[in-house]
């Protein structure tokens, strides 16, 4: 009987010890990535590292974006609140500033882990939308330069030279410079994160929450040439449904500056937008 009791105590102690452990957390945010991935059954797209992660963890097959606006969706994710509870429905900085002024008691993931969980919290790249970062979330200031990545391009005359920052309406839609990963912001950021992970135990005696945000594959489509060389697109890559998605709301058809509007502003001819009547007819 005493042996059974001791075994029970040992098992209970082990369970308590496991519960008290605080694992390191790495959150990776990727902008505009659709589920064309190997782990979701796509046989053309080469995503070996994401597939390995999926194979060793949990793949969500019914996951949905909180809102069809970057700022609102990210703010909802980071606070755990629905867009309706936040009251922010645009990418306007003024709206999120008003939200934080009127609801200062609402903490983001980073702030909660830092203040309540005893974590060192740190971010790289795009986690909140552009300049929306809440400094209360992080133990150290957010990584600099992330706001420049959106318009970072390779020098058209000499891609090996340091990258340039293009004007918003004079930015190429696609570039494939023959350069190493760390020539572009995403590669340099990845190297910085890896360097931190290799040495962090020497500097920080706390569990860590690291948030790493990549802007790509958001427009403009710029990446080292070796990644474009993995694919030889042909007609089979073209959408089989060139019309609007079935039963999509009329509001979903809009003149996005990030996709269509920018091309129009620099003089490219684009197919006209559907009229309201056409959109309603297509959607039944």
The set of catalytic residues is: 70, 129
Contact 227, 187 (CB under 8 A): no
- 269 by Cβ neighbours in 10 Å (0-12 / 13-18 / 19+) ranks as exposed
Rg value, the chain, Cα:
23
**Token pair for residue 103?**
């609801």
Are β-strands 152-153 and 120-125 bridged in parallel, bridged antiparallel, or unpaired?
A: unpaired
- 128 by Cβ neighbours in 10 Å (0-12 / 13-18 / 19+) ranks as buried
Cα-Cα-Cα-Cα dihedral of 69, 145, 132, 27, to 10°? 70
């Amino acid at each position: 009987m005493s042996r059974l009791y001791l075994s029970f105590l040992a098992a209970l102690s082990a369970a308590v010890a496991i519960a008290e452990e605080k694992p390191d957390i790495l959150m990776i945010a990727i902008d505009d990535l659709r589920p064309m991935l190997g782990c979701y059954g796509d046989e053309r797209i080469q995503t070996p590292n994401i597939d390995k992660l999926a194979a060793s963890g949990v793949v969500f097959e019914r996951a949905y974006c909180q809102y069809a606006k970057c700022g609102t969706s990210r703010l909802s994710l980071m606070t755990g609140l629905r867009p309706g509870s936040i009251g922010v429905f645009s990418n306007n900085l003024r709206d999120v500033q008003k939200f934080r002024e009127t609801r200062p008691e609402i903490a983001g993931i980073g702030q909660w882990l830092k203040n309540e969980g005893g974590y060192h919290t740190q971010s790289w790249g795009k986690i909140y939308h552009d300049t929306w970062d809440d400094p209360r979330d992080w133990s150290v200031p957010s990584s600099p330069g992330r706001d420049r990545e959106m318009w970072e391009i390779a020098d058209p005359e000499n891609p090996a030279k340091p990258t340039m920052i293009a004007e918003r309406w004079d930015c190429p839609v696609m570039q494939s410079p023959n350069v190493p990963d760390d020539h572009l912001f995403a590669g340099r950021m990845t190297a910085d994160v890896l360097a931190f992970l290799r040495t962090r135990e020497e500097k920080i005696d706390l569990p860590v929450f690291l948030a790493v945000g990549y802007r790509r594959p958001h427009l403009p489509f710029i990446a080292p040439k070796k990644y474009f060389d993995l694919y030889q697109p042909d007609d089979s890559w073209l959408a089989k449904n060139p019309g609007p998605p079935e039963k999509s709301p009329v509001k979903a058809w809009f003149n996005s500056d990030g996709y269509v509007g920018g091309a129009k502003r620099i003089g490219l001819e684009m197919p006209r937008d559907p009229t309201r009547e056409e959109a309603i007819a297509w959607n039944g």
